[in-house]
Each structure stands twice: as structure tokens, then as C-alpha cells.
Chains A and B, each alone.
Chain A
Amino acid sequence: MSKIRLDKDPFNIIISGVGGQGNIMASRVIAGMLALQGYNITIGETFGSSQRGGSVMSHIRVSSGSVWSPQIPKCSADFIISIEPTEAIRMLTDYGNRHTAVVSNERPVHSMAVISGAMNYPPKEDIENFLYRYSARSCLVNATEEAIKLGNPILGNIIIIGAAVGMNLLPIGREDFRAIVSRQLKPHLVDINVTAFDIGFAKTAAIN
């Protein structure tokens, strides 16, 4: 069954971002990899009107045993994977605790308040400081920037998935990713996605 034992059962993952960023795709890929390992997975998602520029999140419960609530109780997320950095902070304060690990894309998506000038988007060092102060481990990844180099910014999600796996908290690896994308994508897209995964993986695996 599992290659690495989970630190905690259920192990609680939150995947967050802004509507339209591909949050649901990311959660299904990660959950799919874990399900292939034989874990009992429960995912709770928000979609619908909350897609329209609002905060979105998926709750993933990973257990070697039973079914858990599709909503993670407050203060009990173990790992936050975010496609947008301020959403990582929002999720950490809502669902995290001092032991939570965070990996996030560093690319901001500006909200209406920022675009209109009513509020400022925090500088990267403030975000880093916050995550350093309030999480057990954190890593910001320039995923969108790397994805643009690969030819499409949407691959930033895959880079983040690679970075999440590189944090070495999940009992999954590169081959599990290849297995999942081979099932879900057209053959000519598999390699570019695995390349994106590897870029993300290298960024966090080097640190951890």
C-alpha cells in the first residue's frame, strides 16, 4: 500500500487559489495520486458562483481507514498548497495551526480592492515573513514565471503540484504523477506536464 506512513490520520490538505486558476484540477490530480496508493480519500470542494474572482479551496482528507467530513475542522490543516500567495495566508489563518506546512505560488492575482487602489497587495517579503512566522515550514515558488517559460501560465498549477510533492510530506512521487496525467491527458501533453512537475519538485526538494 503506502510507501511512506502519514504523520497523521486523517492527513488534511487544503488546496487554495482564486476562481479560474485551476484549483479543482490540482486537487483532483493530487487526490488521484493518493487514491492510487490505496488511501481512502475525501475531497470537499467549493465551486459555482465562488469561481467568479473569489477565493476557492478544496479540502482533501487522506486516511488509511475511514471516510471523513468533506470540511476540515478549523485549525486542523496539515498542509496548505496554494496557487496564489495571499490565499495561502487566508487558508493558514482559517484552517492552519503552528504545525502546518505551506507551499505556494508566489504570483499574485490582484483582487478588485487592489486593482481599484483601495488596498495594496502585500510585497513578497511581507508574505514570506508572515508564512515564516505562522507556519512550521513554508516555500514560495515562482511557478507562473517558470510556466510562462514553458509556454503556458496554466502549467503553473502543475509546477505547484511538483513543489508540493517535493516538500516530502505526501507518500507520492513522480511516477504517480505520470500515471495520473497519462490517464487524464492526451499523449502529446504528458511530457510537458511531467517537465513542469519536475521543475516544481526540484524547487522544494532542494530546500527540504
Chain B
Amino acid sequence: MAIKENPLLDPKEGNFHLYLGNEAIVRGALEAGASVAAAYPGTPSSEIIEFCSRVAGDRKMYVEWSANEKVSCEVAAAASFSGLRSLCAMKQNGVNVASDFLLHLALSGIRAGMVLVACEDPGALSSQNEAESRYFARLLEVPIIEPGNFQELKEMTTWAFELSEELRQFVIVRSCTRLSHASGIVTIGKLPEPATGAHFRFDGNLLDSLTGPMHSNPAPLRHNWQQEKLKKARAIFEKSPFNTYDGPDNPKLLIITGSAANLYSREAVHILGLKDRVGILKIGTTWPLPQSLVKKNLARTEKILFVEEVLPFMEEQVKILAGENAAEIGAKTFFGKNDGMLPMSGELNPDLVVTALAKIFDIKLDTSAQEWSYNAAMDAMNLVPGRELTFCAGCPHRASYWSIHNALQMVGREGFVNGDVGCYGLAIIGAGFYAMKSHYSMGSGTGLASGFGKFKQFGMEQPILSVCGDSTFFHAAMPALVNAVHNKSNIIMVILDNGGTAMTGFQPHPGLKIDAMGSNAMPAVNIEAICSAIGAKTRTCDPFDLDATRKILLEFLEDEEGAKVLILKQLCALSPDKRSGKQYAMSIDKALCVADSCGCNRLCTRVFRCPGLRWDSRTRTNSIDEVVCSGCGVCADICPAGAISKVKITEASTENVKNKVG
């Protein structure tokens, strides 16, 4: 393996590297000569743009974090129209956001290759749903392909650009958490010379998407052309090397699989030693399904098991095909999601496939390991405390919700918070004192609040709040605020401005001076000025100033006239600017802290519950965990006995710590 500063830039064909899945996708795009990449961050897709950012200079690319996924697709399409190959990436929810534009784009088609990478999250490990872009691809009527290992993440991404140009249609590459956030060895190919020259030609015929204006009319005619492209795609897919069959000519069982489930299937067959009895048809070109190829493989056997995530997409397609061709290929017995052999929700893993295969082959599994595991787990249950998710030590959200919770308690009337996607969604559980009572998609907290805030005429007296992050504000909350202001909805929108898209790894957004390519001089779009211009009464405060925050909230709660905005501005504890630098040295005066006999009922450890605090139930003492505490100083302000003290740390000592970071 070559030793290089950035393995993505290794020019030597045939070298191999341990790439993160998303890195392999980027290498694939680089080998295809992609010039433009745009995305909105979302787990598990975010590293795609991060990797592009690091090579933008060397590869002469334009890379941006867009305000939302729809805009990222529009930026990528503009590149395609101008003759530049482009990539956009998003998590599954992003495809929903982008779909309005994509439905139009699918009708017009594209020019230079355009690839949309949809990284999905079966099991919703870092998401609020398990949505699937395969069904979106069918709705959009565009091809979708699924890499089945790390090498294919690279190769199929490169190929997707060629396919896109051959069809003059954008192509969706579907990845998932267990590929995007997994790493494997990838052998690399050649890097082409970066592309030069961009021009948007529009002097051609109104119906010629290669030379004329770009649009989707007349829709029925374009729709027909679009479907012709799908027929062409199907013909190409029939011969694709990314569809493979491994196994005996006539297996007892045929597994049809793809994506990460391909790896689970292979492992399960290995574990059960079924290599001579099971064949695996790995489909890389998922839709439109290569029907002749599948038909040929169905003819190998009578029993078929589908192993795919999450819904039975291939299962449905193949069953229709088998029904249409029953006379030719004979009757089949199908196992998969529909008969409950594998679960239709949640993530798959090798164990689930082992269980399904054992059932089909009537294999009695050795359960001694499971029994050992069960006994160990029973013993551990009384020993190991659970780990509920919470805000990090020094997280501004904990302080913000402390003030929101207290203000709502003081006012009474069952006030509540409507939220959306971000770390701050944890307020639906104890981390944010259960202040949040509705939690939906990007910007939805403010949209819901805008509705709730209008129901006084029906007797609703509850104070209505919404929260959204700074990045979410630009993504989808602005229209909701416009709606609330214009309709005089009585709400308080709290913008939790922690200086970046924190949950996904601190990507920049339009409110900051930095961009994806390392510039530090971009015009920062001012959230406060926008809110004021929209017409909302707008105030800004530091959430670590608990008194000031509560005062503004109480003032706003009294004010029943229209929409108010409170911007709580404080950097995320994990922000690169803040990391490993404590603002305060914290300590607890054991003489002043009498723990639960003081009457405060342990406000710090029982209620506030910052992970930087410790409670020892044996000695009944509170203390600071020096390793975890980030020195924000907030707990000093909540202790009624004044037992927690904060001492400002000088810049010099902070620098000293930074230099020792590993």
C-alpha cells in the first residue's frame, strides 16, 4: 500500500487503500472526472462532501454545502447542463426534499453525467425513519444501482457517470450505513485530467435537451422518452458485470440480494457451510430489473430467498416476473419479507440470515453460544447501567432547555416545544427535560407551531414554542416562520444557533463565513436580520446566561401578539473552535454542598444531569468529572447553595492543553 498524505489522490492505478465507504464513492467520482459536488449534510452521507472538500483544490473541483438537498440537486444539474460531471449526495430523507425538482429533471433528462448518491439508514441508527430511495427511483422513473461491497462502491460510482451520459438521465447510487460508514480495501484506478470549460448551450430546438432550453414540457411526450431511456437501461443492465451469480448450477435455494445484505448473505452461507446447496444472485442494477438475467437464474431452482433492506422491493419485482413467466420457468416457493422469514422493519445482519436459512433447510443450530450469551447478559444486567442518549458535557442545548423548561413551568398552562431534526431533538427525552412534545422533519417544529399558535379561537390556551437549529433554519424553517408571521400565529421560535451543522460533524452552513472548500471569507447570512426583516420580534441571547434567557422567554410568553424569535447563540461543545479548551475550571466546595440534604434535591446531578458531574451514592457526594467536564460554567449558576464555583481559565493554559492533544 502506498503511503500518501491523502489516499484519495493516489495517482497509481492498482494501488489499494483502506477506504471508508463514502471515501470509496468519492474516489469513484474522481476517477469519473466529476467536477462539481454539492450536498446538505445527513448521516450516513456527510463524509462524501467532506472528502470532496479535501481534494477540491488538487482536482480543480467546485464543492459546496448547499442550503438543502433540493438546492444541491439543482446545483449539480446546472453543472450537468454546463457540460460538467456532477455528484450530489444525501441521506434518505434528502431524496424526499429534492424530489420536487427531481420529478421535473427526470422528464427533461440531463447532459453531462449526474449522479445522486442516496445513503440510507436501515434500522434508523441515526435517523427518524427507514425510508427507501428504491421506491423513489420507481416513482421518478430513473435507474437505481446498488453497490454490494467496497470495491463496487468505487467502481459503480464511476460507471454511474457513464451510464448517466449514455441514457442522458441522472442515476441514483444507493448506499447504506453499513457500506458508507464501513471501511474496506479498495483497489484504485486512474485519475483523469480535471475537466475544463463550461458553457450552457440553449440555441437548439425547444425539445432537444442537448442543445435547447432545459425544461420538462410537454410532459406526456417527455414521459414517453423517459420510459424509452428505462428500456435502454434495462438492456444495459442485462449485461452488467455488477450482477453476479455464485454457487452451484442447480442450487437447492437461490438467494437474491444486493447492497450490504449481499455481505450478510455470504457470511450466513459460510457459517452454515451451505456453499454447495445455496446460490447467491447479487443484483447491482436494481431497477429497472434485468428481467432476462433474473429469469435465467430463477430457472435454476424452485426455492428463492430474498435478502434485502428494508422493504420487499426486489421481492415484489421478481414475483411479478415469475408470475408472468410461470409457464416457462415453473412454480416457485418464495421466502423473504412477505412471509415473515425476514423482518420488514429494522436492519438485517448475518445472524438474521443464518436463522432464515436454518429454518428453510431445517438445520438445528448449536445454541450453546447463545445460552452462554444469555447467561452472561443476565449477570451483566444487574451490573451494567444503561446508557440513555444525552447532550454532551457543556452542550448549549442543555442550558437552553433548562431555561425553556423552567420558563414554561413558571407560566404553567401546559406550554410545549415543537422540534425537528438535530441533536436538540433529544429534548423529547430526559436530556432536554422532556420539553419537546412533537418532533418531525426539518423545519416542521415551526410549521406545527404556526398551526398550534392559531387555535386560541377554539379555546387553546397553551403557550406554543418551536426550536430549530441554525442549519435547519436555512434548510426548511424559514418558510414556516414566514407563515407564522404573516398569519399572526402566537408562537416563540427558539433558534438554537450553535455555529454549525453539529449533529452530522460540524459542517458549515450559509450563516457562517466558511465554505466547503476552505474559504474563510464568505458572506455570512445573518439569521437575526432575516427574522427581523420577516417581521418577527427578534432577540438574541447567550443560553449560558440563564437569567437573561429566562427573562426574555418570560417576556415573550406574556406577549400574545404574533411570532417572536429568540436566537440562543453559543458554540457547540464539539465545535473545532472550542474543543479541548475549557472556559472555566469547575470545582465543588464540599463544605457548601450537602448533597440531597440541602433542599435542592440535587438539582445538579438529579435534574440538570450534565455528564461532567458525578454523584456517588455511597458517599453521597457530588463532584466534577475532570475528564468529561468541558468547563462551560452553567452548573455553577444552577446551584442554589453556591457550592459549585467557576474560575476563568487563561488563553495560555488552554493553548498548552491543545498542544498535547493526540
- Any B CB within 8 A of the CB of A98: yes
Assess whether B178 is interfacial by the CB under 8 Å rule. Answer: yes
The interface residues of chain B lying within 8 Å CB-to-CB of A117 are 602, 605-606, 615, 617
What residues of B have a CB within 8 angstroms of the CB of A122 in the complex? Answer: 383-384
Could you give, for residues 90-112 of chain A, a 1 whenever the CB lies within 8 Å of some chain B CB and a 0 otherwise? 10111011100000000101111
Residues on A with C-beta less than 8 A from B380 are 89-90, 92-93, 130
Q: In the complex where A113-B385, A150-B660 touch, is A68 in contact with B263 (Cβ < 8 A)? A: yes
B387→A111 contact, CB < 8 A: yes
Given contacts A110-B611, A117-B617, contact A152 B660 (CB under 8 A): yes
Bound: A41/B662 CA distance, A: 24
Give the shortest distance, in Å, between A32 (CB) and chain B (any CB).
7
Given contacts A46-B125, A54-B389, A153-B627, contact A193 B18 (CB under 8 A): no
Q: State whether the Cβ of B134 lies closer than 8 Å to any Cβ in chain A.
A: no
**Cβ-defined contact, A75 with B369, below 8 A:** yes
Starting from the known contacts A36-B1, A47-B126, A52-B390, 4 additional A-B residue pairs (CB-CB under 8 Å) come to A50-B126, A67-B150, A69-B266, A117-B605
Q: How far is the CA of A86 from the CA of B349 in the complex (A)?
A: 24
Q: How far is the CA of A54 from the CA of B431 in the complex (A)?
A: 12
Contact call B426/A75, Cβ cutoff below 8 A: no
Q: How far is the CB of A174 from chain B (nearest CB, A)?
A: 16
Verify B503–A109 contact, CB threshold 8 A: no
- Give B604's nearest chain A residue, CB to CB: A115
CB contact between B126 and one of A48, A75, A107 (< 8 Å): that residue: A48
> Within 8 Å of chain A (Cβ to Cβ): is B179?
yes
- B78 contacts across to A, CB distance below 8 A: none
A196 to B391, CA, bound (A): 29
Interface 1/0s, chain B 373-412, versus A by CB < 8 A?
1001101100111111111100000000000000000000
CB distance from B150 to the nearest CB of A (A): 7
B145-183: contact bitstring with A at CB < 8 Å (1 yes, 0 no)? 000011100000000000000000000000000110111
Kindly provide the distance from the CB of B54 to the nearest chain A CB, expressed in whole angstroms.
Answer: 14
Nearest CB of B to A23, in Å: 13
The CA-CA distance from A86 to B387 in the complex, in Å, is: 10
CB contacts (< 8 Å) of A94 on chain B: these are 373, 377
Determine whether B354 belongs to the interface, using a CB cutoff of 8 Å to chain A: yes
Contact A130–B181 (Cβ < 8 Å)? no
Cβ of B385: which chain A residues have Cβ within 8 Å of it?
A: 86, 111, 113-114, 119-121
Is there a chain A Cβ closer than 8 Å to B221's Cβ? no
Judging by beta carbons under 8 Å apart, are B609 and A116 in contact? yes
Chain B, interface size category, equals: 35 or more
Q: A49-B389, A116-B615 are in contact. Are A89 and B383 (CB under 8 A)?
A: yes
Q: Does B423 contact A52, Cβ atoms closer than 8 Å? A: yes
Given A52-B426, A53-B390, A75-B369, CB of A112 within 8 Å of CB of B1: no
Q: Which residues of B contact A32 (CB under 8 A)?
A: 18
Chain B residues with a Cβ under 8 A of chain A: 1, 3, 5, 18, 43-44, 125-126, 149-151, 178-179, 181-185, 260, 263-264, 266-267, 271, 349-351, 354, 369-370, 372-373, 376-377, 379-380, 383-392, 423, 426, 430-431, 503-504, 574, 580, 602, 605-606, 609-611, 613-615, 617-618, 625-628, 657, 659-662
Interface membership of chain A positions 123-145, coded 1 if the CB is closer than 8 angstroms to chain B and 0 otherwise? 00011001001100000000010
Using an 8 Å CB-CB cutoff, how does the interface string of A1-24 with B read, 1 for contact, 0 for none?
000000000000000001010000
Note all chain A residues with C-beta closer than 8 A to B185. 35, 40-41, 67
Task: Check: A71 CB closer than 8 A to any chain B CB.
Answer: yes
> Which of chain B's residues have a CB closer than 8 A to the CB of A152?
580, 657, 660-662
A146 at the B interface (CB under 8 A): no
Known: A86-B384, A90-B380. A115 touches B263 (CB 8 A): no
Interface residues on A, range: 35 or more
> Which residue of chain A has its CB nearest to the CB of B151?
A67
Verify if A173 is at the interface (C-beta below 8 Å from B).
Answer: no
Contact of A93 (CB < 8 Å), options: B377, B423, B503, B613: B377
User: Smallest distance from the beta carbon of A179 to chain B beta carbons, Å?
Assistant: 8
**Interface centre among A36, A89, A127, by most B CB within 10 Å?**
A89
Q: Are B125 and A41 in contact (CB under 8 A)?
A: no
Bound form: Cα–Cα A38–B1 in Å: 8
* Residue pair A69, B503 in contact (C-beta under 8 Å): no
Residues from chain B with Cβ under 8 Å of A109 in the complex: 611, 628
- Which of B5, B184, B659 sits near A42, CB closer than 8 Å? B184
Q: Is A31 on the interface with B (CB-CB < 8 A)?
A: yes
Is A204 engaged at the interface, CB distance under 8 Å to the other chain? Answer: no
Q: 4 closest pairs, A vs B, by CB?
A: A48-B126, A70-B182, A48-B43, A75-B369
- Closest beta carbon of chain B to A8's beta carbon, Å: 13
Chain B CB within 8 A of A187 CB: no
Q: Specify which chain B residues have a CB less than 8 angstroms from the CB of A71 in the assembled complex.
A: 178, 264, 349-350
Given contacts A116-B609, A151-B660, contact A20 B574 (CB under 8 A): yes
The reply to whether B181 and A45 contact each other, CB–CB distance below 8 Å, is yes
Q: A189 at the A/B interface (Cβ < 8 Å)?
A: yes
Q: What CA separation (Å) do A70 and B178 show in the bound complex?
A: 6
- Cα distance A86–B43 when bound, in Å? 27
A53's partner among B178, B392, B503 (CB-CB below 8 A) is: B392
Q: Is A80 an interface residue (CB 8 A)?
A: no
Do B182 and A44 touch across chains, with their CB atoms under 8 A apart? yes
Look across to chain B and name the residue whose beta carbon is closest to the beta carbon of A119. Answer: B385
Partner of B182, one of A45, A89, A121: A45
CB distance from B392 to the nearest CB of A (A): 6
Is A81 in contact with chain B by the CB < 8 A criterion? no
